[in-house]
Structure 1
């Protein structure tokens, strides 16, 4: 069983990501900010994908990637560590800037094409949203992860 590393102030988790380039960008973000990135499979691409490598550049070697064969394996590992699961979703009403993040939180993001299933929503300890005024369905996954990580780190006074 893969256990979320949790050695950073928070970590990022991607539920069955669809787009290799977004995942590569998030792995680069994690490497630069010292955050582990959990990937809950199956992904919509092979993790050796060229687009993933292009987006992650040479930062992939620095990234702390933890792979889980499915959500059940991820959830078992998370529960074993007692870490809080904070789901980012367009269905939430609490703004992410109004939420009190804590050290150790796992920030979970759904698939670019479909988000996460209701069962995952039910298991999250909290659900938050990034408000949008422009009428779009959702932000790009890597953009949302960057905004979320920045706000969580700001709140917990991460020193970088």
Structure 2
């Protein structure tokens, strides 16, 4: 996977519009999108067209059955998980080309077992306490562009 500059991994995404927006961001920066089943929507051509995802043909994406499948393909030591439970701000991470940014489903975030296995690789996006969390597409965009800022844009 060294030829891929950046990976974005969505674990069990629930909302097609969020995934579509993240997919568009991936196209914009040349990142590979990983979708981990189950998905809360369909990826057939009709559904994509109806959702207005006319750029989907330009998206480099993979669909896998388990989060561990993406981790093994990318490299477990290359993954950065994003969670409101993270102790390190996303701007404090030292991203490198080929890294993967992992996000959980909109309603519940990443599984505690996943986060517990990699506490030093769990990041948060700072926000005021009044905001429980950010929209998944917004959080992914913030993370992707911080990573791209650090590794450079081709």
TM-score by length of 2: 0.88
8 and 77 in structure 1: CA distance in 2 versus 1, 3 angstrom threshold: closer
Which moved further from structure 2: 60-69 or 82-91?
Answer: 82-91
Equivalent pair of 1:15/1:109 in contact (CA under 8 Å): yes
Q: Which runs of 5+ in 2 are unaligned?
A: none
1:134 Cα deviation (Å)? 5.7
Question: What are the within-5 Å matches in structure 2 for residues 45-124 of structure 1?
Answer: 45-48=41-44, 53=49, 57-79=53-75, 84-124=78-118
1:70 Cα deviation (Å)? 1.8
Helix, strand or coil at the partner of 1:65 = strand
Q: Which runs of 5+ in 1 are unaligned?
A: none
1:33 aligns with 2:29: yes
What count of residue pairs does the alignment treat as equivalent? 153
Matches of 2:85 and 2:114, distance apart in 1 = 13
1:51 Cα deviation (Å)? 6.8
1:25 Cα deviation (Å)? 0.9
What value does the CA root-mean-square deviation take over the aligned residues?
2.1
TM-score by length of 1: 0.85
> CA offsets per residue over residues 35-87 of structure 1, 9 Å max, x none?
100011111122238775455622100000111012232233234xx651100
User: For residue 132 of structure 1, what is the aligned residue in structure 2?
Assistant: 127
